[in-house]
């Protein structure tokens, strides 16, 4: 079962945010088998922005972090088809275009889970279910892979 990871989870894993979420994100990323993870390319761009704008990283450190993520996990590019789906998602479900693109890329790449706190937990679209890994109750889907 493939898993896409959203920017917020990656930022917490990098230490940006409250210690509880940061520790939980790090532990989660370490538990998921590497071959199951897909990172939409959009998330890496967003992570760079978060690291340099909010995280106190200089551009060299932020670039090194992004490249480390890319060296570790499969990266999924944003296709024109994914963008068209994201436009529909945005219109139909009132999603921000960049969040919709991440979900669309996850679906296009056969992911079953999108780990994110940016959507309504349990929201499912084209076979991808959004799981907020920071909620007290863990998802049965998430329990199935860690």
* DSSP secondary structure letters along 46-58: HHHHHHHHTS---
pTM: predicted TM-score of the whole model, two decimal places: 0.94
Residue 66 has a CB neighbour count (10 Å cut-off) of 20
Please, is 123 exposed, middle or buried when counting C-beta atoms within 10 Å of its C-beta (0-12, 13-18, 19+)? middle
What pLDDT, in 10s, does the model give residues 94-137? Answer: 999 999 999 999 999 999 999 999 998 899 999 999 999 998 66
121 in Cβ contact with 138 (< 8 Å):
no
What pLDDT, in 10s, does the model give residues 7-45? Answer: 999 999 999 999 999 999 999 999 999 999 999 999 999
Which domains are present in the chain? 2-140 (3.40.50.1010)
């Amino acid at each position: 079962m493939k898993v896409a990871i959203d920017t917020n989870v990656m930022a917490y894993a990098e230490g940006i945010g409250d210690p509880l979420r940061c520790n939980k994100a790090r532990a989660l990323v370490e538990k998921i088998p590497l071959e199951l993870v897909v990172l939409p390319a959009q998330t890496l761009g967003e992570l760079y922005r978060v690291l340099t704008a909010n995280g106190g990283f200089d551009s060299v450190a932020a670039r090194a972090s992004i490249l480390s993520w890319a060296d570790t996990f499969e990266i999924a590019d944003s296709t024109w088809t994914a963008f068209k789906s994201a436009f529909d998602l945005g219109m139909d479900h009132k999603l921000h275009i960049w969040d919709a693109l991440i979900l669309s890329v996850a679906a296009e790449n056969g992911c079953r889970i999108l780990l994110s706190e940016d959507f309504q937990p349990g929201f499912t679209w084209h076979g991808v279910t959004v799981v907020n890994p920071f909620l007290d109750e863990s998802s049965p889907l998430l329990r199935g892979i860690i």
